[in-house]
Structure 1
Amino acid sequence: MFRIFLCGLLIAGTALAQSFDRAKLDQYFQLLESNNKGMGQVSIMVSGQEVYQNAFGFANAQTNQKANTKTKYRIGSISKSFTATLIMQLVEAGKLSLEDPLANFYSKIPNAADIRIKDLLQHSSGIFNITEDPELRTWIYTAQSREQMLKRIAAGKPQFDAGAQVAYSNSNYILLSYILEDIYGMSYGSVLEKQIITSLGLTQTRFGGSIKADNNEALPYYFEDEAWQLISPQTHLNAPMGAGGIISTAEDVSRFYAQLFSGALVSENTLKMMMQTREDVGLGIMGFPFEGIQTYGHSGSIDGFQSLVAHFPDQQITISAVSNYMYTNLTQVMIGAAKIFFGMEYELPTFESKRGGETEQLYAGAYSSADFPLPITIFWEADQLKAQAEGRTPISLALIEEHHYLAKDAGLEFMFDVENKTMLLKEGRREFRFNLNE
C-alpha cells in the first residue's frame, strides 16, 4: 500500500496541496498549544508555494503576546545552510575553491595547512567544537570579538586529522563566516542580506542580535510549575556567527530551502555537490530518510529555541518548523506533521498527565553505563519520576509517551526498555546505553 502511495507522490506531489487533511494538522498544533506542550510556527510549501502555515503559543508569555506567522525565531544551526550557500556562491564565482587550505586565511588554527574549505563545510576538519568549551557559559552571553573567538578555537585540541572522519563542530562555520567577511569586505549580516535575503525577498530574516520582543521576536521558554519560565540570559549571536546566528520564520526558512533546490541561489551542479553526503552530512545540509523518501535539510537548537527544515526533492515539498518551546525534540513533532500531510497513519497525542499503568517499581533502580561517567538512579517521588546522577541534584522527568520521558530543563531524554532492563539516555546527538544493576 505504501509503495502505491509513494509512486503517486513521485508522479504528482502537487496534488497534496489540495488533498491533505488541513483540519487534522490544525488540531495537532492546537493540542500542543492547549496542553502547554509547544509553541512556534510551521510552514509547508509545494513547488515553492505555501499551502499551509500555523502559528501557536506565545511569542512573549509575560505579556500574553500570541505568536503569529510573522514572529521571528532564532533558527540555530539552520544558519549553516545559509552560510554554506554563501560559500558555494563564491566557489561558483571563482573567488574561492573547495580545495583551498584554511591556512590561506587562518594559519594559527591547528592543522590549518591540511584543512580544506570542503572539510569546514562537511565537518571533516577535526577542529575542536567551540560549544564544548567547559568555560562556554562564562562568555557566550556577552559580545565576543573575532580575535577572542579565533584564540579559543585555536586553543582547542583537534579531534582527528583533517578529512579522516566526520564530527559536528560549530567552529567550522564560525570560521567560514569570517572567511565570507574577509572576501566580501563587509559584515556577515551584510553578506547575507546582499546575497540571499534581498534576492529571495525573505522579509523576516536577518542576522540576529539581542531579542526584541516589541519587534515581534519570540522569547525562549520552558514550562514548569504550571507556568512559563523565561530562559535567560541568551547567547550573544556574534559568537556563533553563521553557525547559528540567524533569526527567521518558518515561512522564510521553507522559502529559502525551496529556492535553493530550485536553482535560484546556486547551479544544479553546485547543489549536487552540497547534497553529496558522508555519514549523512553534506555541505551545509543533511540527508535523511523519511518513510522511504529521501529528504534533505537541517536542524537547529539554541537557548531553548528549536528549528527543523526538511525538503523532499522528488515531490518538491518543503516543511519547516521553528519553536521557542517544545516538550520534546522538534523532530518528533515534525514527523507527526509530515505524516498527517502525506496522508499516512498517525494517531494524535493525548498528553495524559498520569503515569498510566506504571507500578511504583517500574523503571526504579540504579543504572550504569560503560560510556557514561556516573551511575544514574531512577526513582518515584510523590507520583513523579526522577533521575539522579551520583553526587548530583535529582531532576524531574515528564512523560512523553509510554516508556519515554524528558528532563525539560536539562534537555535529556530517557527511554526505558522494561523487558531487557535497559535505559537509553539521549543528549542532543549523543546516546548512552545503561543497564539496570541487579
Structure 2
Amino acid sequence: MLEQHHKMMESVAITKNGEKVYSRSIGFANVEKKKKANEKTKYRIGSITKSFTATVILQLIDEGKLTLNTNLAEFYPEIVNASEITIQQLLNHHSGLFNFTSAEDYLSINTKALSKEELLAIIKKNGKAFEPGEKGEYSNTNYLLLTFISEDLDKDSFANILEKRIFKPLKLKNTQVGEKINSKKNEAFSYSRKMGARKKEQETHMSIPLGAGNIISTPTDIAKFYTALLEGKLLSPGSLLNMKIFEDSFGLGLFQLPYNENRAYGHTGGIDGFLSMAGYFPNEKMAFILTSNGSSINLNDVALGVLAIYFKDNYQLPQYEEEVVLSMEILTSYEGVYGNDTFSLDISVTNDDGDLMAQATGQSSFKLTPTSKNTFVFKPAGIKITFKNDILSIEQAEMTHALTKK
C-alpha cells in the first residue's frame, strides 16, 4: 500500500534471538535506472551512527584510555568551555556546544569535503548554546568531537576503527563508512516527491557528519549490531549500564523507543532524504529496523504499524487518498501573505519547487498536501486549507478562519 500510493521507499527487518523473522524492501534504490531496492541495499543511516560512535568511546573507556569524566580540554582546549565539558556530556548531549548543522550557512557547505581543521574551526566559531550540564539539547557537534577523540586515542582513521572494533567482529559485511553514493555497489540514492515524481536529493559529503552520521548499512546488519550491543557482547556490563542511563531523554548514544508497555533501546536517523529508525526490545530479544530513501509520511507511523503487527495488537491499515498533482501555475497562484483583523497571525504561502509551504508568523513552515485543485491538508496538526478568490480558509479543531490575501 505504501508503495502503491507513492508514500515511501524503504527496507525493513525484524529479528528475534539474532535470527531474521521478517525482511522486505519496497521502492527503488535508483529511480532513474529503475533499480529496485533489495535486502542488501545500503542506505545512509544518519544519526543511528551515533550508537556506533558511543560504543567505540565506551570501549576505549573499558580499556582505561579515558573516563566519562575526562575533560574535552585534554584533547581540544581551544573549544569553548573545554575545561568544563566531559566525555559523558558529549555522549548525552549536555555539552552546550552549538549544533553545527543548525547554522544558517550549513546547507551551503555540506556538499563539499571539509578537513578536520576546517570542522574544528566551524565548531570554535559557532561556540556555545548554553553552559555545560545546564540541560540536554541535541547537537551533532558532540559526535564530531568524539570522532576526533577516538582517532587520537586509537591512532587510526574512524573508518578503520569501526571496521576493527565493530564491523569485522560482528561480520557486518554490508556496513561501512559512506563515501559518494555508488549505485553499482547497491547503495541507495535518496529522493523527495515533487509534482508527482521522485526528485533526487543532494548528497552530504561524508567528510562532514563523521561519527554523527556517516555510516551506510542495511536493516539486517543494523539489527545484528543492536542485538550484540544490548546483549553485552561489545561492552563491559558497567559501560552498557551507563549507556542506558537517561538524562533529559538522552542516553549515551541511545534513545528509548516506547511501544505500549514495552521499551526498546535504539536511535533514529535522518540525512538528506534518508530516514531511519532502529530499536531493540530486551524482553523480547527482538530488533526492528526501518531505513527509507524517500518518504512523504511520518516514519514513526510506519514503525507503529510494523510493531502492532508483530505484537499482534489491533491494527487497521491506513487508507491513503490518490495522489493529486497540481501544475506550477496553480501552485504559484496561491502564493502570498494572508490575514485578517481578528486572526492573530499572518500566514505566508510559498511554492517551493512544487511543494506548497505555509508558515504562520513566528512559527516553522510546513508542507501542504493537495487533496483537490484548491484544498490542502497538513495532517500532523489536523489542518485543512482551502483557496478561493484570494481567500484562504483554514480549518482546525472545528474552528474556521477566512484570511484575505494582502
Give the TM-score taking structure 2 as reference length: 0.85
Matched, 1:318 2:287: yes
Deviation at 1:34, TM superposition (A): 1.5
The 2-side partners of 1:265 and 1:259 are apart by: 7
| Stretch of structure 1 that moved more, 313-322 or 111-120 | 313-322
The 1-side partners of 2:99 and 2:402 are apart by: 33
Deviation at 1:296, TM superposition (A): 1.3
Task: Say which SS state the counterpart of residue 2 (structure 2) adopts.
Answer: helix
1:74 is aligned to 44
C-alpha contact 2:46 2:269 (8 A) present in aligned 1: yes
Amino acid paired to 2:122: R
Aligned residues: CA RMSD: 2.9
Deviation at 1:345, TM superposition (A): 1.2
State the Cα deviation string for residues 112-152 of structure 1 (Å, max 9, x = none). Answer: 00000000000000001000111112211001000000011
Matched, 1:118 2:96: no
The 2-side partners of 1:340 and 1:269 are apart by: 35
1:185 is aligned to 155
State the Cα deviation string for residues 38-78 of structure 1 (Å, max 9, x = none). Answer: 11210101111111100110000000000000000000000
Deviation at 1:310, TM superposition (A): 1.4
2:257 is aligned to 288
Deviation at 1:194, TM superposition (A): 0.5
The 2-side partners of 1:50 and 1:88 are apart by: 28
Matched, 1:405 2:378: yes
The 1-side partners of 2:75 and 2:168 are apart by: 28
The 2-side partners of 1:327 and 1:172 are apart by: 30
Q: Pick one of 275, 278, 289 that aligns with 1:309.
A: 278
State the Cα deviation string for residues 64-110 of structure 1 (Å, max 9, x = none). Answer: 00000000000000000000000000011101111000000000110
Deviation at 1:420, TM superposition (A): 6.2
Deviation at 1:367, TM superposition (A): 9.9
2:347 is aligned to 376
Deviation at 1:329, TM superposition (A): 2.4
Matched, 1:264 2:237: no
Deviation at 1:405, TM superposition (A): 2.3
Task: Say which SS state the counterpart of residue 397 (structure 1) adopts.
Answer: strand
2:67 is aligned to 97
Amino acid paired to 1:162: P
The 2-side partners of 1:128 and 1:70 are apart by: 36
Compared CA separation, residues 67 and 354, structure 1 to 2 (3 A): closer
Structure 1: which 5+ residue stretches go unaligned? 1-30, 356-363, 407-412, 423-434
Aligned residue pairs, count: 370
Compared CA separation, residues 201 and 367, structure 1 to 2 (3 A): farther
Compared CA separation, residues 158 and 57, structure 1 to 2 (3 A): same
2:396 is aligned to 418
2:143 is aligned to 173
1:387 is aligned to 358
1:208-357 alignment, distance < 5 Å: 208-232=178-202, 234-353=203-322
Report percent identity of matched pairs: 38
Compared CA separation, residues 148 and 317, structure 1 to 2 (3 A): same
Would you identify which runs of 4 or more consecutive aligned residues in structure 1 move more than 4 Å?
364-368, 388-391, 435-438
Deviation at 1:418, TM superposition (A): 2.5
Compared CA separation, residues 214 and 315, structure 1 to 2 (3 A): same
1:133 is aligned to 103
Deviation at 1:248, TM superposition (A): 0.3
Deviation at 1:437, TM superposition (A): 8.3
C-alpha contact 1:73 1:249 (8 A) present in aligned 2: yes
Compared CA separation, residues 397 and 85, structure 1 to 2 (3 A): same
Structure 2: which 5+ residue stretches go unaligned? 325-336, 384-394
Amino acid paired to 1:32: L
Deviation at 1:163, TM superposition (A): 1.1
Matched, 1:36 2:6: yes
Amino acid paired to 1:221: Y
Compared CA separation, residues 118 and 388, structure 1 to 2 (3 A): closer
Q: Pick one of 118, 125, 137 that aligns with 1:155.
A: 125
Deviation at 1:292, TM superposition (A): 2.0
Give the TM-score taking structure 1 as reference length: 0.79
Matched, 1:194 2:164: yes
The 1-side partners of 2:294 and 2:357 are apart by: 21
The 2-side partners of 1:421 and 1:49 are apart by: 51
The 2-side partners of 1:50 and 1:133 are apart by: 41
Compared CA separation, residues 134 and 52, structure 1 to 2 (3 A): same
Task: Say which SS state the counterpart of residue 328 (structure 1) adopts.
Answer: coil
Amino acid paired to 2:104: P
Deviation at 1:419, TM superposition (A): 2.8
The 2-side partners of 1:436 and 1:310 are apart by: 44
The 2-side partners of 1:421 and 1:258 are apart by: 48
C-alpha contact 1:123 1:168 (8 A) present in aligned 2: yes
The 2-side partners of 1:215 and 1:81 are apart by: 25
Matched, 1:145 2:115: yes
Compared CA separation, residues 285 and 396, structure 1 to 2 (3 A): closer
State the Cα deviation string for residues 315-358 of structure 1 (Å, max 9, x = none). Answer: 11110010101112211111111111111111112211389xxx
The 2-side partners of 1:354 and 1:333 are apart by: 19
Task: Say which SS state the counterpart of residue 200 (structure 1) adopts.
Answer: coil
The 1-side partners of 2:366 and 2:142 are apart by: 34
The 2-side partners of 1:36 and 1:223 are apart by: 8
C-alpha contact 2:366 2:378 (8 A) present in aligned 1: no
